[in-house]
Amino acid sequence: MTNRGKDIPNECCQQSENCCVEEVGTMVQRLVRIIHLFERDQIKPYGFTTSQCYVLVELKKNNLTMNELSEKMNLTTSTMTRIINNLVRDGLIERTRDKEDRRVVVVGLTSNGVAAANQLESSIIEYYGKIVANLPAGQIDEVLKSVSLLIEAFDKANPNCC
């Protein structure tokens, strides 16, 4: 078992606002790596890329136009088109033309796509359930608040991103 959480500096941030910049950066980088490895391990059995998984799970909620999907995924339309092409080829997504504006392409899951998205979601929920089970019960709300604060800080630091 690793001591990932044991690297938290003792009271370093009580001294000044900027004293923990390096520590926060180091911990965020570690968290990003851990999440990246988690995603890779979770999708490996399915043979999908991370982007394909995000698309499948997003389209499970509802059908979207290519532009809407590109915006939600923060990807260019050409990159999204390549991802969608592979999922169409694999029979997981279908394209249709909008009835009111034939120039607009709407993408949605096929029955195989729904099944794949359901499997991915179940796998992700199971894994996060293991993580939550390893958090001290009295600190789960604190963890949620801290993660929310971190997300807000990222949003404020780079409002044009993500």
Domain boundaries, the chain: 48-135
Reply yes or no on whether the pLDDT at 65 is more than 70.
Answer: yes
Q: How confident is the model at residue 38 (pLDDT cuts 50, 70, 90)?
A: confident
Model confidence, pTM = 0.77
Q: In this structure, what are the phi and psi dihedrals at residue 135, rounded to the nearest 5 degrees?
A: -90, 145
Q: Distance between terminal CA atoms of the chain?
A: 33
13-27, 64-78, 85-99, range with the lowest pLDDT: 13-27
Residues 6+ apart with CB under 8 A from 74: 161, 162
Name the class of domain 48-135: mainly alpha
For residue 12, pLDDT beyond 50: yes
Average pLDDT value for the chain: 88
